[in-house]
């Protein structure tokens, strides 16, 4: 058996160019893995963060990260005013999303005058259900599509009704290369939900990019490949090593799979001012493994 490749430690926190200063960003699933890396990417560029999580331990993780980021700003010379960090409990797969969406909108109103600039739809319901074996049950389908499709629809709908988006906003959905690339059996339902999310982003780009009050807002998806996250660590080592080796062999830019910072960097590009001419696209974040033509 090959060696177990543990995720590398998080990179030291450091401030970047403050090109997102004054921006308000919502990051769903903000406390672990890719979501945490996205939070760090945006916050160290000056954006205030509303970060969602689903469990009490994750609430502590968000609080600890917020304290680290605030201290980072305070340690600069001269000390810089830190962005705000608001953590919220949110169950994206709730049967009725009204309460979850209302909580987010209320926090937006209370802390940021009801306005925002960036939405990163990172939280997801990940399910594994092999067809023909009894696991592709109605409740599994409902749960997957509730979290990955219904929640984003209801959230964006409420933001529109409340006129929350400011001009030249950025909406980014975290998708999966499983929509296109062959993956281990059992991921069809999850991949279908991500394909639906990508479709929503394309259609919203057409329908909402020039909507009065939010002109210039872009909607894009990021297709994520095999990445070293908490889910990666939960894969049985003997299976994980084989999967990692086969994926790394197909990556075009390095002989490795992705780190969470790799994904955050791509999303960081898409939320920048310079990405204002990219909308309705699916951007590859697999190191070139999954070619999107």
End-to-end C-alpha distance for the chain, whole angstroms: 37
Give backbone dihedrals phi and psi of 282, rounded to 5 degrees, phi first.
-110, 115
176-235, pLDDT tens digit by residue? 998 987 777 878 999 999 999 999 999 999 999 999 999 999 999 999 998 998 888 888
Neighbours of 29 (CB within 10 A): 24
User: Which one, of 161, 184, 186, lies nearest residue 247 by Cα?
Assistant: 184
Residue with tokens 């058996």: 1
Strand partners, 27: 51, 120
At residue 10 the predicted structure's pLDDT band, cuts being 50, 70 and 90, is low
Q: Taking 70 as the threshold, does the pLDDT of residue 4 lie above it?
A: no
What is the spatial distance between Cα 263 and Cα 228, in angstroms, rounded to a whole number? 11
Domains and CATH numbers, the chain: 24-229+260-278 (3.40.50.720)
pTM (2 d.p.)? 0.93
The pLDDT value recorded for residue 7 is 37
The pLDDT value recorded for residue 77 is 76
User: Which one, of 155, 121, 116, lies nearest residue 38 by Cα?
Assistant: 121
84 by DSSP, 3-state: which?
coil
Q: Taking 60 as the threshold, does the pLDDT of residue 86 lie above it?
A: yes
Q: Taking 60 as the threshold, does the pLDDT of residue 169 lie above it?
A: yes
109 by DSSP, 3-state: which?
helix
Q: What is the DSSP string of 147-159?
A: IIIIHHHHHHHHH
């Amino acid at each position: 058996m090959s060696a177990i490749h543990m995720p590398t430690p998080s990179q030291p926190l450091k401030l970047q160019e403050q090109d997102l200063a004054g921006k308000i960003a919502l990051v769903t699933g903000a406390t672990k893995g890719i979501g945490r890396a996205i939070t760090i990417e945006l916050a160290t560029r000056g954006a205030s963060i509303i970060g969602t999580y689903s469990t009490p331990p994750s609430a502590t993780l968000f609080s600890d990260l917020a304290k680290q980021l605030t201290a980072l700003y305070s340690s600069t010379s001269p000390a810089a005013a830190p962005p705000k960090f608001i953590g919220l409990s949110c169950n994206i797969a709730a049967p009725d999303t009204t309460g979850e969406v209302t909580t987010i909108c209320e926090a937006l109103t209370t802390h940021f005058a009801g306005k925002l600039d960036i939405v990163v739809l990172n939280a997801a319901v990940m399910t594994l259900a092999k067809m023909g074996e009894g696991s592709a049950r109605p409740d599994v389908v409902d749960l997957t599509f509730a979290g990955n499709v219904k929640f984003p629809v209801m959230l964006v709908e409420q933001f529109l009704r409340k006129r929350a988006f400011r001009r030249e906003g950025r909406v980014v959905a975290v998708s999966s290369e499983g929509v296109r690339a062959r993956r281990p059996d059992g991921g069809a339902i999850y991949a279908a939900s991500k394909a639906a999310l990508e479709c929503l982003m394309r259609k919203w780009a057409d329908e909402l990019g020039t909507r009065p009050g939010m002109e210039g807002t872009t909607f894009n998806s990021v297709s994520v490949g095999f990445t070293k996250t908490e889910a990666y660590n939960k894969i049985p080592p003997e299976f994980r090593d084989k999967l990692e080796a086969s994926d790394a062999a197909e990556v075009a830019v390095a002989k490795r799979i992705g780190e969470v910072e790799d994904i955050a960097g791509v999303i960081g590009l898409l939320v920048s001012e310079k990405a204002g001419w990219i909308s309705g696209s699916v951007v590859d974040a697999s190191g070139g493994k999954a070619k999107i033509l």
